[in-house]
Amino acid sequence: MDVLYFAWVRERVGLPREAVETEAATVADLVAELSAREERYAVAFSDMAAIRVALDQELADLDAPLQGVREVAFFPPMTGG
Amino acid sequence: MDVLYFAWVRERVGLPREAVETEAATVADLVAELSAREERYAVAFSDMAAIRVALDQELADLDAPLQGVREVAFFPPMTGG
Amino acid sequence: MGVKVQAEDFDLGAELAALRAGRTDIGALVSFSGLVRDTAGGQPISGMELEHYPGMTEKALSQIEAEAHTRWPLQASLIIHRYGPLAPGDQIMMVATASLHRAAAFEAAEFLMDYLKSRAPFWKKEAIGAGARWVDARDTDEEALSRWR
Amino acid sequence: MGVKVQAEDFDLGAELAALRAGRTDIGALVSFSGLVRDTAGGQPISGMELEHYPGMTEKALSQIEAEAHTRWPLQASLIIHRYGPLAPGDQIMMVATASLHRAAAFEAAEFLMDYLKSRAPFWKKEAIGAGARWVDARDTDEEALSRWR
């Protein structure tokens, strides 16, 4: 599964995208798995209230299932316009 | 005093402006005086709810005094924009 | 701030570009333009004649614009309104408002339009077939003012 | 209808002219454009970097535009949003809406802006002095969405 990071999430994780092998059932499970893996993920995901998630380019909740999902993205609240 | 007419009020009265000699105290008095003078005024002023008034280019009410006023205008509700 | 009452057409893009030219303090720019439609109430319109009250028109528009500046922090604004004969597709008028944030710019533009509609001395006469008809003021236009009281 | 996501600047006047070119069925045309300001929270801004999520951006903007067309009778609409480096005074984005009457055109433009602000994946980073700072989302932007529910 491709995992993408944008804005300060990207800066804290240290890369814009990566391929991740995971059996995580939900977005929250994936966040926990990555945070346990390395400190930089734990830092990026330390306040999940400040993180938005998109699954295959549609906004989703933290408890959304990852079954069949090809692209997960993590980013801060949007500030366009 | 100059009296001006616009849109269908102008068409019914038959002219865009005229000088009127009057002792009328209020707009309503002037309307009554003109309506009594000739049928075309009576027709133009037959429904005063459909008439707006400006005194020296400021919107005013029917009972507004004419003292010191140089220009009176009668017209339908505005439809610009 | 600026008010123009004219028979000639205007260049909406050039007016908006001029409004912000050389400025770096504007965050939000809103424009409204009114256009002549080819139908009214289901009937085809071949054109329109816009009558106005020279002198009072400029005064009323300037008052409305000044009132908008007292209500919202506007960096710039513009009102242009045409008079005379107009054809379907022609521009009738425009307003533009510039502010730091979008809410003020949108609200001020709507305020200008609501007041201009019912308080600036313009009257539209639509040409329908061989005849012509004065456009009636809409109750909803007068009601729109209640939002700002 | 149209959505453009691009690094290049756009010509607001040309876009608005194209939207109504050859048409006589539009009565009201509203535009909003967002510009880079030279200060933020009292601090001078020397520029801005706009990051976005290619692919999702276009999809999100198209969904927001389609939703506006289900809510209001729009004859035309357009959304342009830039990304990449921008300087104070630069245009960031624009929306335009065309309808028969002003209320629909104004409301649809405000709806597009409110949803675009909080639902389209763009992130602003402001350059301040030698450093840079990600712009925080404003609570008022999220609250603005409640108007449309």
Contacts of A60 in chain D (CB under 8 A): none
Average pLDDT over residues A60-81: 97
Average pLDDT over residues D53-75: 98
pLDDT tens for each residue of C89-126? 999 999 999 999 999 999 999 999 999 999 999 999 99
Average pLDDT over residues C71-89: 98
Average pLDDT over residues D95-99: 98
Residue C47: how many CB atoms within 10 A of its CB? 16
Q: Which of C31, B4, B20, B12 is nearest to D17 (CA)?
A: C31
Question: Residue C134: pLDDT above 90?
Answer: yes
Question: Residue D41: pLDDT above 90?
Answer: no
Average pLDDT over residues A58-63: 97
Of D12, D32, D35, the CB nearest to C13: D12
Q: Which of C23, C35, C146 to mutate to test the interface with D (most CBs of D within 10 A)?
A: C35
Question: Residue C62: pLDDT above 90?
Answer: yes
| Cα angle B66-B68-B72, degrees, rounded to a multiple of 5 | 50
Contacts of C55 in chain B (CB under 8 A): 57
Q: Which of C50, C100, C53, C105 is nearest to C78 (CA)?
A: C105
C55 vs D41, more confident: C55
Contacts of D23 in chain C (CB under 8 A): 89
Residue of A nearest to D55 (CA): A57
**pLDDT attached to residue C1:** 87
Q: How confident is the model at residue C65 (pLDDT cuts 50, 70, 90)?
A: very high
Please judge whether D110 and C109 are an interchain contact, meaning their C-beta atoms are less than 8 angstroms apart: no
**pLDDT attached to residue B37:** 96
CA distance D53 to chain C (A): 23
**A79: helix, strand or coil:** coil
Strands (E), C59-121: 74-82, 84-86, 91-99
Q: How confident is the model at residue C41 (pLDDT cuts 50, 70, 90)?
A: confident
Please judge whether A79 and D137 are an interchain contact, meaning their C-beta atoms are less than 8 angstroms apart: yes
pLDDT tens for each residue of C27-38? 999 999 999 999
Q: Which residues between 96 and 135 in chain D have a beta carbon less than 8 angstroms from any beta carbon of chain A?
A: 113, 116-125, 134-135
Please judge whether C28 and D33 are an interchain contact, meaning their C-beta atoms are less than 8 angstroms apart: yes
Global model pTM greater than 0.90: yes
Question: Residue D129: pLDDT above 90?
Answer: no
DSSP state of B26: B
CA distance C148 to chain B (A): 18
Backbone φ and ψ of D45, nearest 5°: -110, 130
Question: Residue B5: pLDDT above 90?
Answer: yes
Task: List subunits contacting chain A, requiring 3 or more Cβ pairs under 8 Å.
Answer: D
Q: Which of C58, C86, C120 is nearest to B78 (CA)?
A: C120
Average pLDDT over residues C49-69: 98
Average pLDDT over residues D19-27: 97
Please judge whether A7 and D59 are an interchain contact, meaning their C-beta atoms are less than 8 angstroms apart: no
Calpha distance D27→D23 (Å, rounded): 10
Of D55, D92, D123, the CB nearest to A78: D123
Backbone φ and ψ of D133, nearest 5°: -145, 130
Q: How confident is the model at residue A60 (pLDDT cuts 50, 70, 90)?
A: very high
Q: How confident is the model at residue D61 (pLDDT cuts 50, 70, 90)?
A: very high
Contacts of D123 in chain A (CB under 8 A): 6-7, 75-76, 78-80
**pLDDT attached to residue D104:** 98
Question: Residue A58: pLDDT above 90?
Answer: yes
CA distance A19 to chain D (A): 17
Sign of CA dihedral B17, B21, B25, B29: negative
